Chain A
Amino acid sequence: MTLLWIALLPLLGVLVPPLVANRGRRDCSLATAALPALALVLTLSQVPALNAGEALRFSAEWIPALGLEVAFRLDGLSLLFNLLILGIGLLILLYAHYYLSPEEPYGRFYAYLILFMASMVGIVMADNLLLLWMFWELTSLSSFLLIGFWSHRSDARKGARMALVVTGAGGLALLAGFLLLGDMVGSFEMDRVLAAGETIQADPRFPLMLALVLLGAFAKSAQFPFQFWLPHAMAAPTPVSAYLHSATMVKAGIFLMARLHPALAGNELWTMVVSLVGMTTLLYGAWFALMKTELKGILAFSTVSHLGLVTVLLGIGSPMAVLAALFHILNHATFKAALFMSAGIIDHETGTRELARLGGLARAMPVTALLTSIAGAAMAGVPLLNGFLSKELFFAESLETPVLGGLSWLMPVMATLGGVLSVAYSLRLVHAVFFKPPRQTPPKTPHEPPRLMRLPVEIFAVLCVLVGLFPSAMAGGLLDLATQAVLLEPLEFHLAIWHGVNLPLLMSAIALVAGIGLYHLHRYLRRFLRGFHPVDARMIFEASIQRLGRRSEALLARLDNASLQRYMGLLMFSALALTSLGLVMVPSLAGDQPQRPVDGVLLTGAVLLIFSGLGTVLAHRYRLISLLLLSMVGLLVSLTFARFSAPDLALTQLSVEVVTMILLMLALFFLPQKTPRESSLPRNVRDTLLAGALGVAITSLNYAVLTRGTPSISGFFLDNSVPGGGGHNVVNVILVDFRGFDTLGEITVLALAGLAIFKLLNRLRLFMPHSDGEGRVWSPDRYPMILTTISQALLPLALLVSVFIFLRGHNLPGGGFIAGLITAVALILLYMARGVEWAQERLDFQYQPVAIVGVGVAAVTGVGSWLFGHPYLTSAFGHFHLPLIGDFELATAMIFDLGVYLAVVGATLMILANLGKVTTPHRPAKNEAAATTSAKEKR
């Protein structure tokens, strides 16, 4: 459980700063530090167990089907990184407390910083590849927020975006790599992955997987050729740079390479790729660090260079190289954090980070000068400091590696060259800022920073010295555990300051002497280099981003031109292409079943159907005629259903047809009566061809299905309708019982459509024509006498019929849907005959609640079955006997059907009655004044 808390506490800590941000800055900083500090204490409390050789694991299932679990581990490697992340993180908090000005939203800043800390802790402790990846992405996101913290600055925004794009894309590659890796091992559990090194490296997909994983790691750790994002990320506030870019974020890639070392390393591919990329990065970074003229730029490139150094060591992969890599991670974190923080102090106190404007600061800030000198010397690899020791180990390893075969002697040469450059840029950082006489005066008069702001730097500088002097005592134990975690076996080593006069020592000496020389010469070097035009990575990056944007826009403009006709055309074309593809695959269109003969009635019906369909299209510009022909299609479709043994469908289609036509007629009243001739001839031809081709495809498909005997699942429904559902009308039993859940969904959609229409009609004001399309004035006889009389007589009759249809629905054609439609039609007839006002006065209730109650009744009926311990919507039924009436059957499905009935009535009338109301407030006959007042009353 302790492990879970170590990982969880920082995550919970994200919530702290926003909660206490208004309690003042001091309290906020202290409260923010509390949970990470607790996590650090917990981590340290596990050290004895680790020393005893216990394997500390925690795991709980999360999504077992995906192999994802909440699993954490704490081994030496995690311990090393946890100490760096939490320890440095706390010191950074202290530093940030002084660095940020009080006006800045420090609560937000702390929250981002802790989120980042939590995700880093997650990475190093994750015991499951997928979990590790999730935290990995979380670091990309939180570092994006941190780098872009000063979002008003363009360089911050661009730098943040670049970091996100590069590390995010790397993260995707990493995910692909992890999925492959998990597939090879058969598990995402870390222990199983690490133990399966041989299986993994024997797999033919190993090179691909390795490439993907390394892509992720290199992008994160700014290895060549992804080094370009790191210098631009320096637009972040300095505490962020000090934290992310010295100790944590950029070390995530390195951590990953160390973590997966047993699984991936130890083969030629790994050694070759990793050590060469690392060496390139080492030299590239060191060279540009020397050329930069701004403090954080130098630090950024030197970070790139040192990351390269660690990568080379991991690439070499011998036990001593791994030890050297881990030792250098530790040392680099300490001296680089100190250097970043003093760069921040200099910036803070002088107002500039440009070397040209700085100089001679040792006089004004002697303590800072001393601290920076120590850290800088550690970076340069001056003896008696920590950087010297790990660099010495690096030189020794570079002498021994056979990575380049016959050219392996190049490795120590390049390593020494890197050392020379590193001495030179360290000197620039220290000497040029503090000891060289100033050429210009800085914007602010420099002085020492607040005592506590300097404290973190002091701690790190002291650590540099202490580790340098007493390596075994200070770091031996930690490194012992960490190497053991990486190599999976203990390693005998002894860290010493003095190894006697040997080649590595000579290399160090060369590096020191030549570095000092290079520093003095570098002015000439820069003058020489002025002839070359520097390539700015950001320019290239921004240009390619913009190009991508423009291309996408051009593509979108072609596809998405906000024209429905274009979309429909594309949609139909795709449908046509896919359907045709499917049809081409079918060996023959006609199936094995013979066609049945056609009789006269069928032929007449089909011809009528085809002609009324075509007529609808041909007359489509004359909308009323087109509509009348459409109603004919509807009637014929209803007859088709009746002809092919579907009485329920025929009844439904008929009543829906009535309602649809009334609706469309009413709507047409408000719309133009004619469609203008707009489409050009080519477009008409194109549309005809497209629609025609789809028609042919549909015909073929339908024919192919009809001539094949297809197995049906309907036997089940036929067999179980009476014994299981208690009804003889199978269609209705399916609707209200077997597939009741679908029906519930459908009436919900119906009710929602009704509500949406109600909302759409709200306050709609439309032009009301006085005459029809031909210029004929509407008839003044608004409510014809005959219709009025008949409708009133018809209403009770129609309601009776609908009750009858409803009740018999379970056993004979009928049911809630049809009954609801009949009721709706009867009521609408009343509206038409008497007008909305008259009907509204008498039918004094809203339809929205009816529809909602209907859906509610249906839903509650389903819940009812829970009470009896059955699944949702299980029905029950029974036979009852009443004197006089006789035997009858009652089923809970009837109540469900009642819900359907109410929903249909409510939704249909909601649609039509509300649409009818639109006509009333401003009928042509009434004067405008009356219209506006009644409209106001309505509101």
Chain B
Amino acid sequence: MESLYAITTGVLSACGLYLILRGRTFPVVVGLTLLSYAVNLFLFSMGGLTTDGATIIDGPRDYADPLPQALVLTAIVIGFAMTAFAVILSMRARGDMGNDHVDGRKQEEREENHR
């Protein structure tokens, strides 16, 4: 179970990282979202994987580690804020620059730089 979990986290991170290396904004945003899933899963697993653990206090029982859960909960919400900001920024960049390349320059400038 542990190895399967680890492999899943790794694959999701690799997918996200590959997309982050793309040159257009939308795939990068998708990549960021994927990566934040992977990171959340990774952080969540820091407390160990508990099956059928209790989360509500009710006498002495086998509890799931609540701390990573609390951290990941806020991370999910912050991740949303970050994704939203990135995607709106890319819209703005497209509106102002006329293209959706990640470098945030107008087409002419980019060509000049390439020369």
Contacts and interface: CB of A to CB of B under 8 A. Distances in A.
A69 to B, nearest CB: 42
Nearest to B11: A610
B19 A620 contact: yes
A735 B66 CA distance: 10
A568 B20 contact: yes
A578 interface: no
Interface in A725-769: 728-731, 734-735, 739, 742-743, 746, 749-750, 753-754, 756-757, 760-761, 764-766
Contacts of A627: 30
Contact of A660 (B40, B42, B83): B83
Interface string B14-27: 11011111111111
A626 B19 CA distance: 11
Given A717-B66, A760-B89, A703 B78 contact: no
Interface string A542-568: 000000000000000000011111001
B33 to A, nearest CB: 6
Contact of A817 (B6, B29, B73): B73
Contact of A565 (B8, B21, B100): B21
B11 A706 contact: no
A688 B64 contact: no
Contacts of B5: 606, 702, 706
B91 A687 contact: no
Contacts of A668: 26
B30 A764 contact: no
B30 A675 contact: no
Nearest to B1: A596
Contact of B64 (A644, A722, A746, A756): A644
B74 A743 contact: yes
Contacts of B11: 610, 613-614, 695, 699
A634 B56 contact: no
Interface string B43-61: 0111111111111111000
Mostly, the B contact residues are: helix
A649 B1 contact: no
Interface in A637-670: 637, 640-641, 643-649, 652-653, 656, 659-660, 663-664, 667-668, 670
Contact of B69 (A565, A602, A646, A756): A646
Given A671-B94, A702-B5, A688 B56 contact: no
A500 interface: no
B73 A731 contact: yes
A602 B55 CA distance: 21
Given A620-B30, A731-B70, A756-B85, A721 B10 contact: no
Contacts of B53: 644-645
A927 interface: no
A474 interface: no
B66 A731 contact: yes
B77 A562 contact: no
A761 B89 CA distance: 9
A812 interface: yes
- For chain A, the bracket of interface size reads 35 or more
A727 B34 CA distance: 33
A713 B47 CA distance: 10
Nearest to B39: A698
A260 B17 CA distance: 58
A609 B58 CA distance: 33
A653 B44 CA distance: 13
A795 to B, nearest CB: 22
Contacts of B57: 718, 721-722, 728-730
Interface string A566-582: 00110010000000000
Contact of B10 (A569, A598, A698): A698
Nearest to B109: A562
A645 B55 contact: yes
Given A645-B55, A656-B80, A743-B74, A603 B66 contact: no
Given A702-B9, A742-B74, A644 B44 contact: yes
A598 B84 contact: no
Given A616-B19, A633-B37, A702 B10 contact: yes
Given A606-B4, A718-B63, A663 B87 contact: yes
Interface in A683-719: 687-688, 690-692, 694-700, 702-703, 705-707, 709-710, 712-714, 717-718
Contacts, number: 303
Given A609-B8, A671-B100, A766-B95, A703 B2 contact: yes
Interface in B80-103: 80-85, 87-92, 94-95, 100, 102-103
B44 to A, nearest CB: 7
Interface in A590-615: 595-598, 602-603, 606, 609-610, 613-614
Contact of A765 (B2, B65, B95): B95
Contacts of A598: 1, 4
A308 B20 CA distance: 62
Contacts of A865: none
A713 B67 contact: yes
A469 to B, nearest CB: 75
A915 B95 CA distance: 14
Contacts of A645: 50-55, 64
A729 B40 contact: no
A841 B103 CA distance: 39
Contacts of B78: 746, 749-750
Interface string A305-344: 0000000000000000000000000000000000000000
B10 A660 contact: no
B2 to A, nearest CB: 4
Contact of A694 (B17, B41, B72): B17
A783 B91 CA distance: 25
A730 B66 contact: yes
A637 B88 contact: no
9 contacts: A610-B8, A617-B18, A626-B30, A627-B30, A630-B34, A671-B90, A687-B18, A705-B45, A750-B77
Given A565-B22, A623-B30, 9 more contacts: A568-B20, A606-B7, A630-B34, A648-B69, A649-B73, A664-B29, A703-B2, A728-B57, A761-B88
In the complex, the 7 A-B pairs of residues with the closest C-beta atoms, listed nearest first? A695-B14, A699-B10, A645-B53, A753-B81, A645-B64, A691-B18, A703-B6
Interface of A: 561-565, 568-569, 572, 595-598, 602-603, 606, 609-610, 613-614, 616-617, 620, 623, 626-627, 630, 633-634, 637, 640-641, 643-649, 652-653, 656, 659-660, 663-664, 667-668, 670-672, 675-676, 678-679, 687-688, 690-692, 694-700, 702-703, 705-707, 709-710, 712-714, 717-718, 721-722, 728-731, 734-735, 739, 742-743, 746, 749-750, 753-754, 756-757, 760-761, 764-766, 811-813, 817, 821, 904, 907-908, 911, 915
